[in-house]
Amino acid sequence: MLDNLKKYNIILASKSPRHQNLLKGIGLEFSILTKDVDESYSNNISVFDVAPFLSLKKARAFEDSELPENYMVITADTVVIVNDTILGKPKDGEDARNMLRLLSGKKHSVVTGVTIHTKENTKTFSVSSKVSFDVLDDDEIEYYVNNFKPFDKAGSYGIQEWIGYIGVNSVEGSYFNVMGLPTQKLYQMLKRF
């Protein structure tokens, strides 16, 4: 599969263990290399365009002059959107609890932007999924934050963890997108790259 990529050394520009496991799951061999990137964005940009904007920004950190022709960089960024507000990664436990209270009993969007970047070509796309949470009580939120420490996750939750088992009552769209990488769409884009 993906024989068209055999000429590339693939780099995943992410420290996320979820990104790494999902990329392995579609059969890619890759190395990890990350760069520090300013993840700020203009308030004039639509909340649904932030994830692809940040993904492209991360890819552009690998300047074309330093990227050999046989290298491909894959970057991704995920945001959780509720009431037209982006929930990023929580700063601390209280921030995580507040985010989960905001998501409790509501439907929200999860948008992941992905960029595939080589010296010759750059493609950016995004996938949006809708997640509906059941009402979470304070004890459930406290248990999750204390035991799962969701500080590296947009919106303060991982759907593949305990909170997803007990709190998510529906997902419209890609489940793997909610985990942080829309594997089906990425695979299709890589097949055509």
- Least Cα distance to 76 among 186, 156, 159, 189 occurs for 186
Per the structure block, which two tokens stand in for 155?
A: 């919106």
CA triple 33-39-44, angle to 5 deg: 145
- 139 assigned to active site: no
165, 123 Cβ separation under 8 angstroms: no
Pick the catalytic residue: 64, 77, 84, 152?
A: 77
Contact 154, 88 (CB under 8 A): yes
Catalytic residue numbers, as ranges = 77
